[in-house]
Structure 1
């Protein structure tokens, strides 16, 4: 596989990782406060972001790997990134690091991998490979 094709396969995951890192770099004072919906949007954002990241990892991994192994590896990668992101966030002004957020991130990735790869099986082989 050419380097260009490899980069194209990983580009969505890399862009999502950069976006997650950028959002988690914002100090608490720069985050919007949405009143009663604040918790829902923040935790929902965690789940949605990592759902997309889990699927991006899945589709970036080589299609020759079995579906179950690819799902497990994509989930592991998403959880490891969530752990590293929470660690990074612990250094940001006014922000904290919690294992609850990692669990929400992992749950989002898991649900997306179970649903997305089951109901859209024809998408599991990358067209750029």
Structure 2
């Protein structure tokens, strides 16, 4: 993998770990029902984007061709490890509901990444066709 594409995923992994290490008593309570699930969803949607950026820019064709699956597995494994990690943080706990929001975020992030790439590829093809047919 090209290092410049790996750095966002590595830094974001560290950010998730750091935020998961904060004790619950240090986090101001939010009184909106389900707000934490929305945060989990967005957090892992963004994580999926960084993973796809890294894997889809690998030097290995095999990794590039399987970037969606590799990103999905990597993201889910990291989400599971994050929930296990939270079990050991005072005032935090493991939650299947948080994990579910994480996995949904990962899945939607991967779909969004693919749609963006698809749109950009189609735009480049249209631009190329317009240039060559003038």
Shorter-chain TM-score bucket reads 0.7 to 0.9
Aligned position for 2:126:
none
**1:93 corresponds to which residue?**
90
DSSP-derived class of the 2:90 partner = coil
Larger Rg: 2
CA contact (8 A) 1:82 1:102 kept: yes
Aligned to 1:84: 81
How many residues were matched structurally?
A: 115
User: Which residue pairs with 2:45 in the alignment?
Assistant: 51
State the 1:49 CA deviation: 1.0
Find the partner of 2:114 among 101, 117, 120.
Answer: 117
- Extract unaligned runs of 5+ from structure 1: 124-129
Match of residue 13, structure 1, among 6, 9, 17 = 9
TM-score (norm 2): 0.78
1: CA distance between counterparts of 2:3 and 2:17? 19
Partner of 1:127: none
Structure 2: stretches of 5+ with no match in the other structure: 122-134
In the superposition, the TM-score normalised over structure 1's length comes to 0.81
Q: 2:26 aligns with which of 10, 26, 30?
A: 30
**Contact in 2 for aligned 1:25/1:92 (Cα 8 Å):** yes
Q: For structure 1, which segment, 79-88 or 108-117, has the greater mean C-alpha deviation from structure 2 after superposition?
A: 108-117
Q: Whole-Å Cα distance in 2 between the matches of residues 76 and 103 of structure 1?
A: 14
Report the CA distance between 1:98 and its aligned residue: 1.5
Higher relative contact order, structure no. (Cα contacts within 8 Å, ≥ 6 residues apart): 1
